[in-house]
Amino acid sequence: MSDLSALEKKLECKFKNIALLQQALVHRSYLNEHKSFPLDHNERLEFLGDAVLELAVTDYLYLNYPLPEGELTNLRAAVVKGEMLSKIAKEVGIEEYLLLSRGEQNGSEKARNYILANAVEAVIGAIYLDQGYQTADDFIRRVIVAKLPAVLEKGEHIDAKSRFQELAQEKYRVTPTYEVLSEDGLDHDKHFEVGIFLGKKQMGVGKGSSKHEAQQKAAREALERLEKKE
């Protein structure tokens, strides 16, 4: 098994049972190529860590943000979404220690980011089992909740599609439409460029690995454009 002392320093967490941390880094595919590996894959730890993460973030938001339920839900979703967690996996060094099959190592960026996000949840599950809820909560606040100010500043918690539709109908009595301007890539690694229109006028463009993601980005750009006119 790997020497994980450098990762422990980055996580700021010294494990009593280092096998828990090691297991959190084992993707199912790795065991297909290493059948004698002594540990299981990380999916059960991921299941546990997902619940701990949601509770910790929910608790923090409830205590610190006196907002309606819907806004709190959107904020939480923006902080714990896969895109955010995969970035965190790279920042704290989890990516360097992941055990993957050769196929997954050479897979698409979208697939890899999904694996990275799951690994962060698995590490949280490992911390919870090894150190208890308080240490897991401290880690989540230090590494994940710390992203909240940037999320708020960029408006990443806003459902841009719904908000833009409300404004467009209020100001122009027009319902926005979306059009796929281009798409490329293989079926498992698609990239979409979507335009948002009021009538024939294009109000914004967004790119993403799904149509929904591209639509949200296009709507966010359109929102900024409308708000500048106010």
Catalytic residue among 50, 95, 104, 130: 50
Catalytic residue among 46, 95, 104, 121: 121
Residue partners of 28: CB distance under 8 A and separation at least 6: 41, 43
Residue partners of 15: CB distance under 8 A and separation at least 6: 4, 8, 21, 126, 130, 131
To the query of whether residue 121 is one of the catalytic residues in this protein, the response is yes
Please state, in angstroms and rounded to a whole number, the distance separating the CA atoms of residues 49 and 119: 9
Helical residues (DSSP H) of the chain, grouped into ranges: 5-11, 18-24, 28-33, 43-64, 69-80, 82-91, 94-97, 102-105, 109-131, 133-143, 148-154, 160-172, 211-229
Please state, in angstroms and rounded to a whole number, the distance separating the CA atoms of residues 215 and 151: 18
To the query of whether residue 50 is one of the catalytic residues in this protein, the response is yes
Looking at the annotation, which residues are catalytic? 50, 121
